[in-house]
Structure 1
Amino acid sequence: MKALKIISLLLIISACGNTDKEIDDLKPYEGPMNMIEGMDLYRSESATLKVRLVTPKLVEYVNGNREFPDGLYMEFFDESGKMTTTLKANEAIYFKEEDHWRGRGNVVIKNIENQQELTTEELFWKPSEERMFTEKFVTIKLPDQVLYGKGLEAKQDFSEYTILQPEGEFYIDE
């Protein structure tokens, strides 16, 4: 009788244990680690303001990626502390491993000094290469004209750019 109780107990315990397949199926957690709401972040170098980032929500993941699901607004400043450029997007993601950003949904960059404005639905930014690019349709507003086209390669400060497939009418200096 005692042996029957021990065998029954061992069967119950072994039935509750994990199988090797269940253990192999377990994956490390890859979800959100932190969430910040109502963030207004300032970044400076040598006591000079360089970037201001405002977002309603920031989600940080285990792998280092950062997601801004409700959009973001950024201001960039020169060495004298004067704002030079602004960037707005309806949503954005920073991919840590590749060290690049992707903005989506009504992406607008304004170069205040040159009175230029870029709008597109998706834009990538690689800080290490100091460049921006997209394959989507772009509109660039200048003080005296508007340029359209598909695809863009540009310096990150928007001081130089190339529309890959321009469309419309253009002014040509002779």
Structure 2
Amino acid sequence: EIFYYLKGDLEFKLIAQEMNQFAKTSTFPQGIEIYVYNHRLDTIATILADYAIQDNNQNIVEARSNVVLTNSNQEQLNTEQLFWNSETKKIYTEDFVTLNTKNQIIMGFGFEADQYFSTYTLSNITGTIYL
């Protein structure tokens, strides 16, 4: 487990069974779990993936393979590649995504959100299913 703090507040926690640290990157070949917290220490977003690599210089985590992003509204995004920039606090991808909300399933290419996955946009929507 790795805990990240900003100005004394826990910002997120990263859990991985294996971490390989190099000069410029860290790899997580057995997958990762990232939990993002608010100031009350509530988990407000999670990122799960089968593999990840972190660029230590740019503070960017690239999650790959079976990536699942969820938020506190129980919305879930599924994709095969997702980037999280902890410095700009943005989550994004140009890959195909499926977004499940309470009322619909939206499919398309391209997604961007704040790190809390509370505000987001989908770019090229290819289909919507209303539930």
CA distance in 2, matches of 1:169, 1:58: 38
The partner residue of 2:48 within 88, 92, 104 is: 88
1:136 is aligned to 2:127:
no
Match of 1:25 in 2: none
CA distance in 2, matches of 1:132, 1:84: 14
Structure 1 residues 97 and 77, CA gap change in structure 2 (3 angstroms): closer
1:42: Cα distance to partner? Answer: 3.0
1:148: Cα distance to partner? Answer: 0.7
1:47: Cα distance to partner? Answer: 5.9
Identity among equivalent positions (%) equals 30
Match of 1:161 in 2: 120
Structure 1 residues 146 and 46, CA gap change in structure 2 (3 angstroms): same
CA distance in 2, matches of 1:86, 1:165: 24
Q: How does 1:43-54 map to 2 (within 5 A)?
A: 43-45=4-6, 48-54=9-15
Match of 1:61 in 2: 22
CA RMSD, 1 decimal: 1.8
CA distance in 2, matches of 1:55, 1:85: 17
The partner residue of 2:31 within 67, 71, 76 is: 71
Does structure 1 retain, via aligned residues, the 8 Å contact 2:63–2:81?
A: yes
1:140: Cα distance to partner? Answer: 0.7
Counterpart residue identity of residue 55, structure 1: A
1:101: Cα distance to partner? Answer: 1.4
Structure with greater strand share of residues: 2
Greater RCO, CA 8 A, separation 6+: 2
Structure 1: any 5+ residue segments left out of the alignment?
1-39
Counterpart residue identity of residue 85, structure 2: K
Structure 2: any 5+ residue segments left out of the alignment?
none
1:124 is aligned to 2:79:
no
CA distance in 1, matches of 2:27, 2:57: 14
DSSP-derived class of the 2:18 partner: strand
Relative to the length of structure 1, the TM-score reads 0.68
The partner residue of 1:111 within 65, 71, 87 is: 71
More displaced, 90-99 or 132-141? 90-99
Relative to the length of structure 2, the TM-score reads 0.88
Larger radius of gyration: 1
